[in-house]
Amino acid sequence: MSTFFSRPLGRSFLVCALFAASALGAWAFTPRQYMQQDVLLAKVVPSQFGDWKELTNGLEQTALSVASDGTLSEEQPYNEVIMRTYENSLGERVMLALGYAKQQKQEVKIHRPEVCYVAQGFQVLDERLVDLPQSRPSASIPGQRLLMRNGGRLEAVTYWIRIGADYPRGGLNTRLAILRHGVHGQVPDAMLVRVSTILPGESDTQHGFEQQERFLADLVHAMPAGTAKMLVADKP
Amino acid sequence: MMQFNIFKEEDGETRFRLRSELLPFFIACLGLCCLYFATGVDLYHGAWSSTRNAHGPIMFGVGIWFLWFRAQTLASKGITFKPAPLIGFMVLLLGLSIYVFGRSQTFPFFEVGSFVFVLCALVLLFFGTKTARHLGFGFFFLIFMVPLPPSFVDVLTLPLKIAVSYTVEHILYALHYPVARSGVVLTVGHYQLLVADACSGLNSLFTLEAMGLLYMNLVRYESGLRNAMLALLIMPISFASNMTRVMFLCLITYYFGDDMGQGFLHGFAGIVLFLTALILIIGVDSGLRYISAKVGPPKAVKHAAA
């Protein structure tokens, strides 16, 4: 037996056996547990909560592209996108954008606002990491704040990106989050939760960000647990 | 392990010994093709059909050709075969692990990259380290076919696009053409042209760089300095060729209209690009040879590959 494998022909059989094992291994380790949730955002996101009420004519927001047939690609990574503008009793307006992707892969994944805004002509004035407190016991959510300018338009943006059960910040962490899920056999879904406000001037920045923080906490609180886990990770 | 020569003298000509030595290698290669068939299909539908990695199939084809080409010269270099199973299986296991990881976790970069390791492993297993070293450049060349992550490519493409647009605008303006630019959109006469990712020249930069290295390897100049200079100069050569292509298309559109500019001639412009680049590379290389012959003693001798 050992002499067979020490000869070239035997070696070639062993090599082919290893190839077959690799093909099997690659198939076996492919994540097959889909975390996607078949919930329509348009139905579950409330049009009215707390002091906020949805406006029928929303303000124009930085676009999130969806393919017409719903297929995911690198350029169009969302299955469903909703964009709404909410107004409170003081007449202040806040824009909400939610982008949902049912599956995340290494090369087809959700886009980060700091990239999208810049691609659509904005200039980044400030960018910082922030922890967004939630009224539910599941602590605070790691998010980011951006201050953007496009000509005369000054926009404050607060957002978080949920990938599966993680909130990765930055491109590398996004890849690692997808990989972590993959190694556990899961194909994660992803949600972009983005809130933006047009600021009259730079002095309104702090007020704008605090308002967005409260808006997000109220929004998640207003959604029943079953549907809130679209936006927020479902931690046991 | 026995040392053996794969060639035998017959009627004064060296021939391949097809039976016991070469057949196992071909069986292994067949297995290799089966394993990477799925990868190939995915590449065909995915990465290699996009503008970002359009250079991929060319690199694959040329790489495989080069390996076969180099294999022809094994006999003349007197290389004997001494299979190295230990290192061969180590590289094979490494390559296959990368494959399993890349394929299962949808990382095309690792999945395709593993091919180079596995192919190298097969050569080591059946022919030994000397052969692998002789074929070395071919393996290096194959690295150029690996698809790069889009985010990485975009970071390189955008400045190239802007640079190409900027240069074309200024040259055409200096030649008194009615041209204007906004970002990467050129307005020539009545027409607007978008300098797209494919026009940024990133694919052709990789392709030309690889071709230049191939050229140097085939022509075998002894001077390391000259080789390094040529490798560096290929970057501006590539940029110049791309700029020529965009300018060519602008002028076609200006004189003959949109249909001509976007039709058949668009593809033809690609050929113009490569011809320009090829002429420039050979020209620059001849220039470098002339300079070094004038400046230093004629110690650099040209060895043509047999």
Which tens digits make up the pLDDT trace of A62-107?
878 777 776 777 777 888 899 999 999 988 899 999 999 998 888 8
- pLDDT-derived band of residue B233, with 50, 70 and 90 as boundaries? confident
Residues A200, B276: Cα–Cα separation, whole Å: 54
Report yes or no: A15 at the B interface, CB cutoff 8 Å. Answer: yes
C-beta atoms surrounding A46 within 10 Å: 16
Report yes or no: A185 at the B interface, CB cutoff 8 Å. Answer: no
The residues, any chain, with a CB within 8 Å of residue B20's CB and separated by 6 or more, are: A7, A8, A9
Report yes or no: A183 at the B interface, CB cutoff 8 Å. Answer: yes
pLDDT at B114: 96
Kindly report, residue by residue over B36-85, the tens digit of the pLDDT: 999 999 998 888 877 677 778 888 988 898 888 888 887 777 777 888 88
| Mean predicted confidence (pLDDT) in B132-149 | 87
pLDDT at B115: 96
Residues B190, B253: Cα–Cα separation, whole Å: 9
pLDDT at B222: 63
- On the question of pLDDT at B2 being above 60, the answer is no
Report yes or no: A149 at the B interface, CB cutoff 8 Å. Answer: no
- On the question of pLDDT at B120 being above 90, the answer is yes
The pair of three-digit structure tokens given for residue B140, joined into one six-digit string = 């290096």
Report yes or no: A30 at the B interface, CB cutoff 8 Å. Answer: yes
Residues A82, A40: Cα–Cα separation, whole Å: 10
A127 strand-pairing partners: A146
Cβ neighbours of A105 in B, within 8 Å: 106
- On the question of pLDDT at B256 being above 90, the answer is no
| Mean predicted confidence (pLDDT) in B243-263 | 83
* Interface contact A19-B35, CB threshold 8 A: yes
Distance from CA of B257 to the nearest CA of A (A): 30
Average pLDDT over chain B reads 80
pLDDT at A136: 64
Please tell me which of the candidates A6, A15, A25 has its beta carbon nearest to residue B92.
Answer: A15
If phi > 0 it is left, if psi is from -120 to 50 it is alpha, else beta; for residue A194 that is beta
Cβ neighbours of B122 in A, within 8 Å: 15
Pick the more confident residue, A40 or B265: A40
Task: Give me the residue label for tokens 């067979």.
Answer: A4
Residues A232, A72: Cα–Cα separation, whole Å: 22
Residues A109, A78: Cα–Cα separation, whole Å: 9
The answer to whether A227 and A182 have CB atoms below 8 angstroms apart is no
Instruction: Report chain A's terminal Cα–Cα distance, integer Å.
Output: 54
Cα A47 to the center of its chain, rounded Å:
21
The DSSP-derived string for A195-230 is: EEEEESSGGGHHHHHHHHHHHHHHHHHHS-HHHHTT
* Interface contact B35-A182, CB threshold 8 A: no
The pair of three-digit structure tokens given for residue A13, joined into one six-digit string = 């059989």
Distance from CA of B301 to the nearest CA of A (A): 40
Low-confidence spans in chain A with pLDDT less than 50: 236
Report yes or no: A18 at the B interface, CB cutoff 8 Å. Answer: yes
Catalytic residues of B: 199, 245
The ipTM estimated for the assembled molecules is 0.83
- pLDDT-derived band of residue B1, with 50, 70 and 90 as boundaries? very low
pLDDT at B82: 82
Residues A217, A225: Cα–Cα separation, whole Å: 13
Please tell me which of the candidates A19, A30, A182 has its beta carbon nearest to residue B32.
Answer: A19
Nearest of B108, B107, B133, B109 to residue B120 by alpha carbon? B133
Cβ neighbours of B96 in A, within 8 Å: 18-19, 21-22
Please tell me which of the candidates A12, A26, A171 has its beta carbon nearest to residue B28.
Answer: A12
Over the Cα atoms of chain A, what is R_g? 22
The pair of three-digit structure tokens given for residue B72, joined into one six-digit string = 């022809």
Q: Are strands A186-187 and A33-34 parallel, antiparallel or unpaired?
A: parallel
- On the question of pLDDT at B184 being above 70, the answer is yes
Element spanning B167, H or E: helix B150-174
Pick the more confident residue, B199 or B245: B245
pLDDT at B13: 40
pLDDT at A28: 93
Nearest of B103, B25, B74, B62 to residue B213 by alpha carbon? B62
Residues B280, B213: Cα–Cα separation, whole Å: 14
Which residue type, as a one-letter code, is found at position A154? L
Cβ neighbours of A28 in B, within 8 Å: 104
* Interface contact A31-B105, CB threshold 8 A: yes
pLDDT at B121: 95
